[in-house]
């Protein structure tokens, strides 16, 4: 598995055109977090350092081919005094696979301050490293993310609310020290934010056989953070219907500061072929 530094190191091709490299993978399509992270880094390359990204909104319009690099075309929509807007299109084989709008805000603004409290969760050190604890047939996805430490809070230790249909909490961090540049940590979190989030929609349906894929992805960045230190991903899925599920996440650092928020809609279509195979296997 490539390092996150290699993944996010987009290559300038021409003015406002960048290339994100492809890396060996077991996945059948390009991981959505990789495309989003590379798109965000491409947009950031066109913005002055006095501005920091505060939000992004992306759509996965076609599955990416993981063996192919992706070209990112950046449109400079607006350069204002306080805000800068960029639109990015990721292209493979001449067609768009991903589109993103990203907004950047001047770093020196000040205003009111408040935040939700971080929900209770056992310390990450108390939880097993998922890469080591899962059975062999379930470890493939974690081999893809071997540079990331991902620890799910087990249902028996999850403080839940009766008002939420589906809840899940995950501690995660990058395993190795990253550069101090906050831009790099934001790009890493954009990559990480696609991990496990859609899985929160399956919590009430553990036996469902699904065709799952990210459809769109939105993030808001509130406070500086380090992606190589523990972050708590508090995830909910408020609704699933018609083959799609809405998922939401709030990300807190270890000190309880809310550093980012995520909303994603994903495909959660019943995989009828897999369900039939399972029934046949149970009948034998």
Query: Is residue 220 scored above 90 in pLDDT?
Result: yes
Q: Where are the domains of the chain?
A: 1-107, 127-284
Res 145: pLDDT: 85
Measure the CA–CA gap between 67 and 19, rounded to whole angstroms.
Answer: 14
Choice between 144 and 69, residue whose per-residue pLDDT is larger:
69
pLDDT band for 140, please (50, 70, 90 cuts): low
Average pLDDT in the 120-141 region? Answer: 76
CA distances from 104 to 51, 109, 212, 241 (A): 6, 12, 31, 34
Say yes or no to pLDDT of 6 above 70.
yes
What pLDDT does residue 40 have?
A: 98
Least confident segment among 7-11, 75-79, 257-261, 268-272: 268-272
> What are the pLDDT digits (tens) for 70-97?
999 999 999 999 999 999 999 999 999 9
Per-residue DSSP letter, 108: T
Per-residue pLDDT of 149-181, as tens digits, reads 999 999 999 998 899 999 999 999 999 999 999
Residue 247 has pLDDT above 90, yes or no: yes
Arithmetic mean of pLDDT, 6-17:
97
Q: Mean pLDDT across the stretch 95-115? A: 97
Provide the pLDDT for residue 28.
87
The confidence score (pLDDT) of residue 27 equals: 86
**149, 172 contact by CB (below 8 A):** yes
- CATH second-level architecture of 1-107? Roll (3.10)
Average pLDDT, the chain: 92
- Note the pLDDT tens digit of each residue in 20-50: 999 988 888 999 999 999 999 999 999 999 9
Selected catalytic residue, list 34, 42, 194, 253: 194
Per annotation, catalytic residue among 103, 200, 237, 264:
264
Rg (CA), the chain: 19
Same fold, 1-107 and 127-284: yes
Burial 72-88 (b: 16+ CB within 10 A, else e): bbbeeeeeeeeebbbbb
CATH number for the domain running over 127-284: 3.10.129.10
Q: Does residue 277 carry a pLDDT above 70?
A: no
Verify whether residue 264 is a known catalytic residue: yes
C-alpha span between 148 and 26 (Å, rounded): 16
Catalytic residue among 214, 235, 237, 253: 214
Average pLDDT over residues 236-244: 97
Q: Would you say residue 116 has pLDDT above 80?
A: yes
Q: What is the dihedral of CA 139, 141, 146, 147, to 10 degrees?
A: -150
């Amino acid at each position: 598995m490539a390092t996150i530094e290699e993944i996010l190191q987009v290559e300038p091709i021409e003015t406002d055109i960048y290339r994100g490299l492809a890396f060996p993978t077991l996945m059948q399509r390009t991981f959505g977090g990789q495309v989003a992270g590379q798109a965000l880094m491409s947009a950031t390359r066109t913005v002055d350092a006095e501005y920091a990204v505060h939000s992004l909104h992306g759509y996965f319009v076609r599955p990416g081919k993981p063996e192919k690099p992706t070209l990112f075309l950046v449109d400079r929509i607006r350069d204002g005094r306080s805000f800068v807007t960029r639109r990015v299109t990721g292209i493979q084989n001449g067609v768009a696979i991903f589109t993103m709008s990203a907004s950047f805000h001047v770093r020196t603004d000040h205003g009111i301050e408040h935040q939700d409290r971080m929900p209770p969760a056992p310390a990450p050190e108390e939880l097993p490293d998922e890469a080591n604890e899962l059975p062999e047939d379930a470890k493939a996805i974690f081999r893809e993310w071997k540079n990331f430490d991902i620890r799910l809070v087990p249902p028996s230790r999850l403080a839940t609310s009766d008002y939420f249909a589906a809840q899940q909490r995950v501690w995660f961090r990058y395993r190795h020290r990253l550069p101090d540049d906050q831009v790099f940590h934001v790009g890493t979190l954009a990559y990480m934010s696609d991990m496990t989030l859609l899985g929160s929609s399956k919590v009430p349906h553990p036996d469902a056989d699904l065709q799952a894929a990210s459809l769109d992805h939105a993030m808001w960045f509130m406070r500086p953070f380090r992606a190589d230190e523990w972050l708590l991903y508090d995830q909910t899925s408020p609704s699933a219907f018609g083959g799609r599920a809405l998922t939401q996440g709030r990300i807190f650092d270890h000190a309880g500061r809310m550093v980012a928020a995520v909303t994603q809609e994903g495909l959660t279509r019943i995989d009828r072929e897999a369900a039939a195979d399972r029934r046949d296997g149970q009948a034998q």
